[in-house]
Structure 1
Amino acid sequence: MKANKILFILSILWGCFACTDGLEVIPENSVTFENYFKTEKDIETSLNALRDEFRSTCAFNANKTPIDLGFVHDTLSSTSAQKSFNWDASQFTPIYVDFFWNSHYAIICYANILLENIDKAEITQDRKDYYIGLAHFYRGFTYFRIAQKWGEAPLQTDSRDISKKAKSSVADILQFALDETNLAIKLLPLRDGLIDANGSQVTDKATPSKEIAQALKADLCAWKAAINNEPELWQEAINAANFVIDSCHYTLATDPEEVCTKVLPGGSDEGIFEIKFNYVEATRNPWTPMEEFVTFPIRPEDGRGDIKYCYARMFETTVDKMYPGHFEGMIAEGVYQGDKRRLAYFYDLDTIRKNAEWHALAEGYAYPYKFRKVQLGTTSWSQGKFECFACDHIIYRLADLILLRAECYARINKNDLATKDLNRIRERAYGNRSHDYNAATEGSDLRYIIFKEREKELLWEGKRWYDIVRNGYWKTELSKFHATQMTQQDVDNGALYMPVGYPAFNENSLMTQNKYWQARY
């Protein structure tokens, strides 16, 4: 009953978030919390409410828009999608739920409540430190996502503070997120030392450990170094990445096919931080940009010709450019010499080319096949039909971190080390060292080469938008609008951040809209 009451109280708090600006909450008092947070089970129950909100907010659809805007595509089926990619203001109005930050602040509130009440628990200090570390991790991660998506935002560090809040600077938000992450690193145990309230070892990859907090720090430091022009943070990002990459817990999958069949479904040795698929919560399960491309053969109900109706599509020729290598002329001694991601990430590309009927049905498009594990419907109307991908949501995996470290090395002109990391991923992609980086043939802009390698390796994994923004490639890697009409002043005014949703302005006269979007409403 006590656990249920805690969840009930937290649900009331969430109701307050939903109705106001995401900052006004019920202050702590003797009626609300006096009898709770006494045992470790109480703490774990409240933490589960936090994790549940984190799962649905930071891992899934609530972060969809910027991820969606970054995926590689050739054609789009909907007019609204075309408008979005061309930054039409009609698609970025604050009434859209994806621009509401309420759920992000709900995570922060849960973390604040836990930190404010943890001392009531009659548990050992080392167990308190563990839960404090988790709360700091989730708070740091969430503020990082807020800074990436909206830029300026209010800093809320105490659930009892119900005063109106003006937005803090991007620099301040990111610094707070980094401070929180450093506290998490200090307090969290290593992965093999994670123990739950029952005394059992935690083996899932969804529970933050010291390694996961270091992966977050690498990501955060790289973003902060680029966005705030703090070059000293590139080395900090490298150091954090080193901690994870050098860990005995993580190894690269053997080849791209294994990435598709073992890594992306979840639980592999390459996965670092991932959220578990749970069919019971199908409406809140992992979303990947590949859902915008999904058709035959992923959808059993679709035929080969249905690809032309997809939300988004890629031409075979685009795939050819990204992943060099046809079967013909690419086989030596019976071994395929091209980029094996071409074979793994796309369905039977070369076989379809050789079959005139199949090729005609595809109309020049490639069938995406990277994410393959799916959940099919079981009800009478959905029996055997595609419902969602049944893969875990992978926030960080080893290949991602290796290529991020490569970028950081390139930023500080340690090109030999950057090249070593780049070639490590290419060696897996090709199965040999035949495509090691060569400045004479590929050009000397190593950072851009690494960006394009991340684009290929992490296709449809939700990284590209943030890679573009971090590297400042918005003029060359996004739409015609960005190339011809967006200016650096627009970007300085917040054009690459999302507009703040209207609930943030309720009962908060200090709230202001981002300059770029304010000028368009």
Structure 2
Amino acid sequence: MKKIVLFLTIITALVFVGCDKEDFLDQPVQGKQTLDDFFSNAQNAENFINGIYRKINGESWWQVNFQRQINEMATDDNWAGNTEQPRPDIFGIAQYNVFPGSTYFNSFWESHYIGITRANIALDRIPGVEIDLEKKEQYLGEAKFIRAFFYFDLVRNFGGVPIVSSYNEILDPSINDKTRASVEDVYAFVEADLKEAIGSLPRKSEYAPTDLGRATKGAAQSLLAKVYLYQEKWDKAQTMAKTVMDSGEYALEPDFANLYKVGFAHGVESIFAVEFINNPTFSEVGGQFPITNGSRGDRGWGWGSPTSDLENAFLSEGDNIRLRSTIIKHGEPVFGDPEVSEFDGIPSENKSGRTNRKYYTPLADRPEPYARGQIPGQYIHLRLADVILIHAEAAYFNDDETSARNSMKLVRDRVGLDTNMSLSGTALRDAIWKERRLELALEQQRLYDIRRQKINGVPRIALILGPNGSFVKYNTEESTDPFETTNLKESQDSGALFDPNIHMLWPIPPEEIQLSRGNIKQNPGY
């Protein structure tokens, strides 16, 4: 993206990144002349757009990506995992003993609003840059896509949030009077940005290889399909997902194991992804998850350990192809890494003795030093299988069961699984939901899925977690897993404290409430 994963020199001159303990909705302008210089020519405008991308995964591992990882720990797919160095702030979120002032919530919020501010600056200033009209439209489309991406992330974590749509609003003293917009208004804002981005962005095939990773028309359409799905706008979600499927821009990766393989970034299935590289000259340009997710017996930190419940879901489906590319288990070979015949999941320090295979880096692909922020690979935010399953789910709820079955079959065919084409009613719905769990496992989709999916009006998360939840009962009454049931340094009843009256959203950072003079209201129960 001229590898967008990389260099932010222009933005750091603005102190958006250096703010500490100040409201990110209330930053003083750092000099109008400086901004004029930043947008004095086409190259500077492109540099500024590139800087916005840096906030998608945060500019340091803990700002955004670790909260996404903790979100996974708060589901039936992951334990917190690291039992050698238990952290109350991490375990508290994973086990729903939530501290509202957690640095992870605060950093996630702040990083997203910094990104929104950068996008707003670009949208305010790029129209005045002397630049080719087509390129100008592309840059504006990228800024709108990324701004929509940030607001979508915020609304599904916190609910309604303040909407700031222009940098000029930051200069207005009344910024502290901003209140939370409704969830509906935030979604409407996201939809509007994405629709405009669709009309401005190139297709993936129209980008040069050096620009792969930039936002595309297909990325905006795919995100819009997901936004419709979250709002249960089934007909619109089905139509938009089908548009992406029929675009000819993407295809399912023939070999599931290649999706996260080092060197396969921006493959045929990838719709929107961030590529990581190894470049010791720069910090934080490589991946974090191979270390933070990695086994403590394999130079990792041991966070986010896959559960035996997730493994059982694969086994019940006879799904060995996806299982071996999703979960590594203590004492077993690592699929795709011939140098490891017996993996050290170190169960005495890891709740489940299991590790996320998708973010594992084979020994032959590891740089030296093998360090956080310097590991090659990619993080996929949107891929075609996700869109196909959005189509399947939306079609089901749109009373188009034939299309739902056909789309589910596309995903299952890739991994050699038969599809029961007579499935109907709730059995079909449950099969589609299970397919999402297996296909997208450990890709940080699960929490959002089980929050939004409902059975008879009840969010699925309330049936899975809580004192009577199926996951809690499995672990406390049924499981005989030799690792999980013997390493009790992480509580076996994790998730039992889940309360649907509180935990359908995370708390608004208390600092933001204080700095807004109480105009921003906290979510119920916190």
* Superposition TM-score, scaled by structure 2 size: 0.76
Q: How far 1:151 moved relative to its partner?
A: 0.9
Partner of 1:294: 295
Aligned pair in 2 of structure 1 residues 211, 88: CA closer, same or farther (>3 Å)? same
Partner of 1:94: 101
* Superposition TM-score, scaled by structure 1 size: 0.77
Pairing 1:394–2:401 present: no
C-alpha contact (below 8 Å) 1:256/1:340 kept by paired residues: yes
**Alpha-carbon distance between aligned partners in 2 of 1:205 and 1:191, rounded to the nearest angstrom:** 7
Partner of 1:255: 255
Partner of 1:22: 24
Of 311-320 and 158-167, more deviation after overlay is shown by 311-320
Partner of 1:244: 244
**1:261-300 deviations in Å (ceiling 9; x for gaps):** 479x52321111100103345646445599546366xx2x
**Alpha-carbon distance between aligned partners in 1 of 2:294 and 2:378, rounded to the nearest angstrom:** 18
Q: How far 1:159 moved relative to its partner?
A: 1.4
1:79-478 to structure 2, matched below 5 A, reads: 80=88, 82-89=91-98, 92-100=99-107, 101-161=109-169, 162=172, 163=174, 164=176, 165-194=178-207, 201-225=208-232, 233-259=233-259, 261=261, 265-280=264-279, 283=284, 285-288=286-289, 291-292=292-293, 294=295, 299=298, 310-311=302-303, 313-314=305-306, 319-324=311-316, 339-347=320-328, 368-373=356-361, 376=366, 378-379=368-369, 390-429=376-415, 431=416, 434-436=418-420, 439=423, 444-471=426-453, 472-478=459-465
Unaligned runs of 5+ in 1: 195-200, 226-232, 303-308, 326-336
Q: Give the counterpart letter for 2:97 in structure 1.
A: D
**Alpha-carbon distance between aligned partners in 2 of 1:236 and 1:224, rounded to the nearest angstrom:** 10
Unaligned runs of 5+ in 2: 1-6, 334-341, 454-458, 471-495
Q: Give the counterpart letter for 1:453 in structure 2.
A: E
Of 36-45 and 509-518, more deviation after overlay is shown by 509-518
**1:470-499 deviations in Å (ceiling 9; x for gaps):** 2121112335376776565x15xxx32111
**Alpha-carbon distance between aligned partners in 2 of 1:389 and 1:41, rounded to the nearest angstrom:** 29
Q: Give the counterpart letter for 2:45 in structure 1.
A: I
Q: How far 1:370 moved relative to its partner?
A: 3.6
**1:362-398 deviations in Å (ceiling 9; x for gaps):** 799556534333564635xxxx688875320100111
Q: How far 1:145 moved relative to its partner?
A: 0.7
C-alpha contact (below 8 Å) 1:376/1:388 kept by paired residues: no
**1:79-103 deviations in Å (ceiling 9; x for gaps):** 74554333113xx231423334111
Aligned pair in 2 of structure 1 residues 97, 345: CA closer, same or farther (>3 Å)? closer
Instruction: Select which of 481, 500, 505 maps to 2:508.
Output: 500
Q: Give the counterpart letter for 2:368 in structure 1.
A: T
**Alpha-carbon distance between aligned partners in 1 of 2:290 and 2:462, rounded to the nearest angstrom:** 22
Give the RMSD, CA atoms, in angstroms: 3.7
**Alpha-carbon distance between aligned partners in 1 of 2:91 and 2:10, rounded to the nearest angstrom:** 45
Partner of 2:66: 61
Q: How far 1:448 moved relative to its partner?
A: 2.2
Partner of 1:229: none
Q: How far 1:119 moved relative to its partner?
A: 2.7
**1:40-67 deviations in Å (ceiling 9; x for gaps):** 1121121122122234269733544323
Q: How far 1:124 moved relative to its partner?
A: 2.8
Q: How far 1:121 moved relative to its partner?
A: 0.9
**1:330-385 deviations in Å (ceiling 9; x for gaps):** xxxxxxx8642234334589978xxxx99999799556534333564635xxxx68
Partner of 1:197: none
3-state SS of 1:274 partner: strand
Q: Give the counterpart letter for 2:439 in structure 1.
A: E
Aligned pair in 2 of structure 1 residues 283, 146: CA closer, same or farther (>3 Å)? same
Aligned pair in 2 of structure 1 residues 159, 193: CA closer, same or farther (>3 Å)? same
Q: Give the counterpart letter for 1:104 in structure 2.
A: H
**Alpha-carbon distance between aligned partners in 2 of 1:8 and 1:243, rounded to the nearest angstrom:** 39
Aligned pair in 2 of structure 1 residues 378, 366: CA closer, same or farther (>3 Å)? closer
**Alpha-carbon distance between aligned partners in 2 of 1:55 and 1:320, rounded to the nearest angstrom:** 31
Aligned pair in 2 of structure 1 residues 478, 286: CA closer, same or farther (>3 Å)? farther
Aligned pair in 2 of structure 1 residues 156, 444: CA closer, same or farther (>3 Å)? closer
Aligned pair in 2 of structure 1 residues 277, 79: CA closer, same or farther (>3 Å)? closer
**Alpha-carbon distance between aligned partners in 2 of 1:359 and 1:121, rounded to the nearest angstrom:** 55
**Alpha-carbon distance between aligned partners in 1 of 2:437 and 2:70, rounded to the nearest angstrom:** 18
C-alpha contact (below 8 Å) 1:346/1:368 kept by paired residues: yes
Q: How far 1:205 moved relative to its partner?
A: 3.7
Aligned pair in 2 of structure 1 residues 292, 371: CA closer, same or farther (>3 Å)? closer
3-state SS of 1:176 partner: helix
3-state SS of 1:160 partner: helix
**Alpha-carbon distance between aligned partners in 1 of 2:332 and 2:70, rounded to the nearest angstrom:** 35
Q: How far 1:446 moved relative to its partner?
A: 2.1
